[in-house]
Amino acid sequence: MGPQNHPSPSEAGQAAQRLAVGVAVEISGISKVFQRGQIQTQALARVDLGVKPGEFVAVVGPSGCGKSTLLKIIAGLLGPSEGKIEIAGKLIAGPHTDLGIVFQSPVLLDWRNVLDNVLVQIDLRGGDTAAYGDRARALLAKVGLAGFENRMPRELSGGMRQRAAIVRALIHEPPLLMMDEPFGALDALTREQMRIDLEKLWLDRGQTTFFITHGISEAVALADRVVVMTPRPGRIERIIEIDLPRPRHKAVVSSQRFTDYCNEITECFMRHGVIQY
Ligand SMILES: Nc1ncnc2c1ncn2[C@@H]1O[C@H](COP(=O)(O)OP(=O)(O)OP(=O)(O)O)[C@@H](O)[C@H]1O
Ligand SMILES: [Mg+2]
């Protein structure tokens, strides 16, 4: 249930402005075994997941359970040992460019200012950067970077750099946004603000979003569905539908239902000994 299908009353009026660019992602029977000499590591075991166009899916799981591996397989950067990925009905057989990726640490070009770092995405695709300038500025403003367009990466805080990296992943209007623990290195306050800003962007754009995190409450706060993975080899342990209104303002994230969802996920991890009290 993406933003286009599930508007809260406060969003209903804005629905017409949403781009709703999202695509369906079909993950079927994905397994991955890494082979290094004699040593085999099974990272993923038979992962099946259907993601609807515009849906926001968060993946939580213990360290080493194969989350980043799954993201790379979906992006076509890594081949699966078994199974297949289909995006918008097309089989993925290698790297594809119709997506935006945000890695854990923002990778910005030191010698380009913020605006030019965002526009590099257009440059690389051979597009006309001048045509994207206004959109880049509008998106930067949306994540609190108005006035910083001409600053160099070294003049920004870690959180600001990560915001610029998120805008860069969105500028070409990708139908699929993949984020691998994008807020991992941030302090708690910046992280909360980024979460709020990301939800706003997603509500506007409706891109299918795949968000990896170690944060249980972050997953519940952002997602339509939370996928809980087992320790390695990573399997899907549970999929929890998060039926909370959007935007997920303070009243929502401090509600009893929100806490109940978080507890449900914590209990999954306790069953596997991932969290021990
Ligand atoms: N290129 C590789 N070659 C060999 N083994 C690998 C490779 N990439 C990942 N692995 C192994 O696959 C398993 C899953 O790794 P992955 O990076 O997907 O975990 P993760 O769930 O993203 O962990 P984290 O939460 O710590 O980022 C790990 O045991 C890792 O050592
Ligand atoms: Mg990882």
Nearest CA to ligand 1 atom 8: 69
Whose Cα sits closest to atom 1 in ligand 1? 34
Answer yes or no: is pLDDT of 103 > 90.
no
233-245: average pLDDT = 97
**pLDDT tens sequence across 31-59:** 999 999 999 999 999 999 999 999 999 99
Average pLDDT for 144-148? 94
Closest C-alpha residue for ligand 1 atom 27: 63
Higher-scoring residue by pLDDT: 6, 244: 244
Amino acid, res. 186: L
Residue type, 78: L
* Extents of the domains making up the chain: 20-99+174-271
pLDDT of residue 7: 45
Angle between helices 188-205 and 129-142 (to 10 degrees): 130
Using the structure block, give the residue that is written with the tokens 């968060």. 58
CA–CA gap between residue 214 and residue 183 (Å, rounded): 10
Percent of the chain with pLDDT over 70: 93
Q: Does residue 81 have a pLDDT over 50?
A: yes
pLDDT: which is higher, 81 or 277: 81
Nearest ligand by distance to the CA of 70? 1
Ligand in closest contact with the CA of 43: 1
Q: Give strand ranges (E) for 64-219.
A: 82-87, 90-91, 100-102, 176-180, 208-213
Q: State mean pLDDT over 209-227.
A: 96
- Counting from 1 in the atom list of ligand 1, the atom nearest the Cα of 72 is 18
Output the six-digit token pair for 160.
Answer: 């600001």
pLDDT per position as a tens digit, 159-200 = 899 899 999 998 988 999 999 998 887 788 888 988 998 999
Contact 77, 103 (CB under 8 A): no
Q: Which residues pair with 149 in a beta bridge?
A: none
Between helix 188-205 and helix 158-170 the angle, nearest 10°, is: 10
With a Cβ cut-off of 6 Å, ligand 1 is lined by 34, 36, 41, 43, 61, 63-69, 232
Domain covering 20-99+174-271: architecture = 3-Layer(aba) Sandwich (3.40)
Ligand 1 atom nearest residue 181's Cα:
27
* Mean pLDDT lowest among 101-105, 114-118, 176-180, 248-252: 101-105
| Local confidence band at 1 (pLDDT 50, 70, 90 cut-offs) | very low
Q: Which residues have C-beta under 5 Å from ligand 2, the single-atom ion?
A: 68
Q: Whose CA is nearest to atom 5 of ligand 1?
A: 34
The residue-averaged pLDDT of 65-70 equals: 95
Measured from the Cβ of residue 178, the count of other Cβ atoms closer than 10 Å reads: 23
- What is the reported pLDDT for 18? 65
- Measured from the Cα of 71, ligand 1's closest atom is 18
Q: Which atom of ligand 1 is nearest to the CA of 35?
A: 4
Distance in angstroms (rounded) separating the CA atoms of residues 98 and 260: 36
Average pLDDT of the chain to the nearest whole number: 90
Phi, psi of 176 (to 5 degrees): -140, 125
Residue 259 has pLDDT above 90, yes or no: yes
Instruction: Report how far ligand 1's centroid is from the alpha carbon of 43 (Å).
Output: 7
**Gyration radius (Cα) of the chain, Å:** 19
The strands making up 39-51's β-sheet, listed across from edge to edge, are 39-51, 25-36, 82-87, 90-91
Distance from residue 5's CA to the centre of ligand 2 (Å): 30
pLDDT band at 76 (very low <50, low <70, confident <90, very high): very high
The H or E element spanning position 230 is: none
Could you identify the atom of ligand 1 that is nearest to the CA of residue 36? 4
pLDDT at 241: 98
For 148, other C-beta atoms within 10 Å of its C-beta total 18
Residue 273: pLDDT band (50, 70, 90) is: confident
Judge whether residue 146 has pLDDT over 90: yes
